[in-house]
Protein backbone atom coordinates (compact mmCIF):
# COMPACT_ATOMS: atom_id res chain seq x y z
CA UNK A 1 0.00 0.00 0.00
CA UNK A 2 1.48 3.36 -1.07
CA UNK A 3 1.33 5.83 1.76
CA UNK A 4 2.63 9.25 2.55
CA UNK A 5 2.84 10.62 6.03
CA UNK A 6 -0.08 13.00 5.46
CA UNK A 7 -2.34 9.95 5.16
CA UNK A 8 -1.34 8.95 8.68
CA UNK A 9 -1.55 12.53 9.96
CA UNK A 10 -5.07 12.82 8.57
CA UNK A 11 -6.09 10.12 11.06
CA UNK A 12 -4.50 11.78 14.08
CA UNK A 13 -6.99 14.19 15.60
CA UNK A 14 -6.04 17.33 17.53
CA UNK A 15 -8.06 17.84 20.69
CA UNK A 16 -7.34 21.30 22.09
CA UNK A 17 -7.25 21.78 25.86
CA UNK A 18 -7.27 18.06 26.73
CA UNK A 19 -6.63 16.82 29.39
CA UNK A 20 -5.99 20.38 30.51
CA UNK A 21 -5.97 23.89 29.12
CA UNK A 22 -3.09 24.67 26.77
CA UNK A 23 -2.38 21.06 25.73
CA UNK A 24 -3.24 19.92 22.22
CA UNK A 25 -3.84 16.21 22.64
CA UNK A 26 -2.97 13.98 19.71
CA UNK A 27 -5.84 11.51 19.54
CA UNK A 28 -4.75 8.36 17.71
CA UNK A 29 -8.09 6.54 17.93
CA UNK A 30 -9.14 7.39 14.34
CA UNK A 31 -5.90 5.77 13.15
CA UNK A 32 -6.51 2.68 15.31
CA UNK A 33 -10.02 2.45 13.88
CA UNK A 34 -8.65 2.31 10.35
CA UNK A 35 -7.63 -1.30 9.65
CA UNK A 36 -5.31 -0.52 6.70
CA UNK A 37 -3.49 2.31 8.46
CA UNK A 38 -3.08 0.51 11.76
CA UNK A 39 -1.64 -2.41 9.81
CA UNK A 40 0.66 -0.09 7.87
CA UNK A 41 2.00 1.58 10.99
CA UNK A 42 2.85 -1.79 12.52
CA UNK A 43 4.52 -2.80 9.22
CA UNK A 44 6.68 0.35 9.28
CA UNK A 45 7.86 -0.39 12.84
CA UNK A 46 8.44 -4.05 11.97
CA UNK A 47 10.55 -3.23 8.91
CA UNK A 48 12.61 -0.76 10.92
CA UNK A 49 13.51 -3.27 13.64
CA UNK A 50 13.27 -6.67 11.91
CA UNK A 51 17.02 -7.12 11.62
CA UNK A 52 17.90 -5.64 15.04
CA UNK A 53 17.57 -8.93 16.94
CA UNK A 54 15.33 -7.39 19.60
CA UNK A 55 14.83 -9.61 22.68
CA UNK A 56 12.27 -7.42 24.39
CA UNK A 57 9.87 -4.70 23.41
CA UNK A 58 9.09 -2.47 26.38
CA UNK A 59 5.69 -0.76 26.15
CA UNK A 60 4.89 2.36 28.19
CA UNK A 61 1.43 2.60 29.78
CA UNK A 62 -0.94 2.91 28.20
CA UNK A 63 -0.85 3.67 24.49
CA UNK A 64 2.62 2.20 24.24
CA UNK A 65 0.98 -1.16 24.95
CA UNK A 66 -1.08 -0.97 21.76
CA UNK A 67 1.86 -0.65 19.38
CA UNK A 68 4.40 -2.41 21.56
CA UNK A 69 2.47 -5.64 22.02
CA UNK A 70 1.68 -6.04 18.32
CA UNK A 71 5.27 -5.21 17.40
CA UNK A 72 6.61 -7.79 19.87
CA UNK A 73 4.35 -10.36 18.23
CA UNK A 74 5.65 -9.40 14.79
CA UNK A 75 9.30 -9.44 15.92
CA UNK A 76 8.70 -12.72 17.78
CA UNK A 77 10.20 -11.37 20.96
CA UNK A 78 8.99 -10.85 24.53
CA UNK A 79 6.85 -7.93 25.64
CA UNK A 80 7.49 -6.09 28.91
CA UNK A 81 5.17 -3.51 30.41
CA UNK A 82 6.05 -0.34 32.30
CA UNK A 83 3.18 0.94 34.40
CA UNK A 84 2.25 3.79 36.69
CA UNK A 85 2.61 3.28 40.43
CA UNK A 86 0.77 0.47 42.15
CA UNK A 87 -0.42 -1.49 39.13
CA UNK A 88 2.21 -4.22 38.86
CA UNK A 89 1.67 -7.18 41.21
CA UNK A 90 5.20 -8.56 41.65
CA UNK A 91 8.43 -6.96 42.94
CA UNK A 92 9.26 -3.80 41.01
CA UNK A 93 11.84 -1.13 40.61
CA UNK A 94 10.59 2.46 40.33
CA UNK A 95 11.64 5.70 38.74
CA UNK A 96 10.13 9.10 39.24
CA UNK A 97 9.48 11.35 36.26
CA UNK A 98 8.37 14.94 35.92
CA UNK A 99 4.88 15.90 34.93
CA UNK A 100 3.76 19.39 34.02
CA UNK A 101 2.85 19.93 37.66
CA UNK A 102 4.73 17.71 40.14
CA UNK A 103 5.94 14.19 39.43
CA UNK A 104 4.85 10.55 39.33
CA UNK A 105 6.48 7.12 39.27
CA UNK A 106 6.84 4.40 36.68
CA UNK A 107 7.48 0.78 37.59
CA UNK A 108 8.79 -2.36 35.95
CA UNK A 109 8.94 -5.92 37.28
CA UNK A 110 12.47 -6.53 38.52
CA UNK A 111 12.75 -9.86 36.65
CA UNK A 112 11.29 -8.71 33.35
CA UNK A 113 14.56 -7.92 31.54
CA UNK A 114 17.76 -9.93 31.79
CA UNK A 115 21.25 -8.40 31.67
CA UNK A 116 22.44 -7.89 28.10
CA UNK A 117 19.05 -8.31 26.45
CA UNK A 118 18.45 -6.13 23.42
CA UNK A 119 15.57 -3.82 24.25
CA UNK A 120 13.34 -1.59 22.16
CA UNK A 121 11.23 0.98 24.05
CA UNK A 122 7.91 1.91 22.41
CA UNK A 123 5.36 4.64 23.07
CA UNK A 124 2.74 6.44 21.02
CA UNK A 125 4.21 9.92 21.36
CA UNK A 126 7.43 11.73 22.24
CA UNK A 127 6.88 15.16 23.78
CA UNK A 128 9.39 16.41 26.39
CA UNK A 129 11.04 12.98 26.67
CA UNK A 130 10.65 12.78 30.45
CA UNK A 131 8.55 9.63 30.40
CA UNK A 132 10.82 7.76 28.03
CA UNK A 133 13.96 8.87 29.89
CA UNK A 134 12.58 7.37 33.11
CA UNK A 135 11.79 4.12 31.29
CA UNK A 136 15.29 4.04 29.78
CA UNK A 137 16.75 4.40 33.27
CA UNK A 138 14.67 1.47 34.51
CA UNK A 139 15.94 -0.65 31.62
CA UNK A 140 19.53 0.38 32.40
CA UNK A 141 19.01 -0.56 36.03
CA UNK A 142 18.06 -4.06 34.88
CA UNK A 143 21.14 -4.00 32.64
CA UNK A 144 19.20 -4.16 29.42
CA UNK A 145 20.89 -2.93 26.26
CA UNK A 146 18.71 -0.22 24.68
CA UNK A 147 18.75 -0.61 20.91
CA UNK A 148 16.25 2.16 20.20
CA UNK A 149 13.24 4.25 21.12
CA UNK A 150 10.26 4.09 18.78
CA UNK A 151 7.26 6.41 18.60
CA UNK A 152 4.34 6.84 16.27
CA UNK A 153 4.41 10.62 16.81
CA UNK A 154 7.24 13.01 17.64
CA UNK A 155 6.44 16.57 18.70
CA UNK A 156 9.66 17.79 17.12
CA UNK A 157 8.77 21.47 17.61
CA UNK A 158 9.35 20.96 21.33
CA UNK A 159 12.99 19.96 20.60
CA UNK A 160 13.38 18.97 24.26
CA UNK A 161 12.56 15.32 23.62
CA UNK A 162 15.50 14.53 21.36
CA UNK A 163 17.79 16.64 23.50
CA UNK A 164 16.90 14.72 26.65
CA UNK A 165 17.30 11.40 24.82
CA UNK A 166 20.35 12.29 22.75
CA UNK A 167 22.23 9.15 23.75
CA UNK A 168 19.66 6.93 22.07
CA UNK A 169 18.61 6.06 18.57
CA UNK A 170 15.15 7.62 18.13
CA UNK A 171 12.71 6.60 15.41
CA UNK A 172 9.34 8.26 14.83
CA UNK A 173 6.85 7.70 12.02
CA UNK A 174 5.29 11.18 11.90
CA UNK A 175 6.65 14.48 13.14
CA UNK A 176 4.98 17.79 13.97
P1 LIG B 1 6.74 13.30 27.55
O2 LIG B 1 7.20 12.61 28.80
O3 LIG B 1 6.55 14.77 27.73
O4 LIG B 1 7.60 12.94 26.35
O5 LIG B 1 5.27 12.78 27.26
C6 LIG B 1 5.05 11.57 26.64
C7 LIG B 1 3.89 10.80 27.21
O8 LIG B 1 2.77 11.64 27.47
C9 LIG B 1 3.44 9.75 26.25
O10 LIG B 1 3.11 8.58 26.96
C11 LIG B 1 2.23 10.36 25.57
O12 LIG B 1 1.22 9.40 25.37
C13 LIG B 1 1.75 11.45 26.51
N14 LIG B 1 1.56 12.74 25.84
C15 LIG B 1 2.30 13.85 26.05
N16 LIG B 1 1.87 14.87 25.29
C17 LIG B 1 0.83 14.41 24.57
C18 LIG B 1 -0.04 14.98 23.56
N19 LIG B 1 0.09 16.24 23.15
N20 LIG B 1 -0.98 14.17 23.02
C21 LIG B 1 -1.11 12.89 23.41
N22 LIG B 1 -0.32 12.30 24.34
C23 LIG B 1 0.63 13.04 24.92
β-pairing, 24-27 vs 118-126, is unpaired
Distance CA 152, CA 159 (A): 16
The best mutation among 125, 128, 129, 174 to test binding of ligand 1, ranked by most ligand atoms within 8 Å of the C-beta, falls on: 125
- Kindly report, residue by residue over 5-57, the tens digit of the pLDDT: 999 999 999 999 999 999 999 999 999 999 999 999 999 999 999 999 999 99
Is residue 27 domain-resident? Answer: no
What is the reported pLDDT for 2? 63
β-pairing, 118-126 vs 145-154, is parallel
Domain interval for residue 109:
52-175
Is residue 26 domain-resident? Answer: no
Is residue 85 domain-resident? Answer: yes
How many domains would you assign to the chain? 1
Q: Verify whether residue 63 is a known catalytic residue.
A: yes
Write down the catalytic residue from 63, 83, 107, 154: 63
pLDDT at 100 over 80: no
Is residue 1 domain-resident? Answer: no
CATH code for position 123? 3.40.50.2020
Higher pLDDT, 4 or 46: 46
Is residue 20 domain-resident? Answer: no
Are the CB atoms for 105 and 84 separated by under 8 Å? Answer: yes
Q: What is the mean pLDDT of the chain?
A: 96
User: Is the CB of 156 within 6 Å of ligand 1?
Assistant: no
Is residue 94 domain-resident? Answer: yes
Tell me, in angstroms, the distance from the centre of ligand 1 to residue 162's CA. Answer: 14
Is residue 140 domain-resident? Answer: yes
Tell me, in angstroms, the distance from the centre of ligand 1 to residue 127's CA. Answer: 5
Are the CB atoms for 168 and 136 separated by under 8 Å? Answer: yes
Is residue 23 domain-resident? Answer: no
Q: Verify whether residue 100 is a known catalytic residue.
A: yes
What is the reported pLDDT for 1? 58
User: Is the CB of 126 within 6 Å of ligand 1?
Assistant: yes
Amino acid sequence: MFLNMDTIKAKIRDIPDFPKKGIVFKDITPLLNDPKLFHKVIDIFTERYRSEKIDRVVGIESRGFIFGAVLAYKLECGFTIVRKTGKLPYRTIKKSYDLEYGSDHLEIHEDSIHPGQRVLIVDDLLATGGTCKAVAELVHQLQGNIVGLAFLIELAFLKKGREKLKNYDIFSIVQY
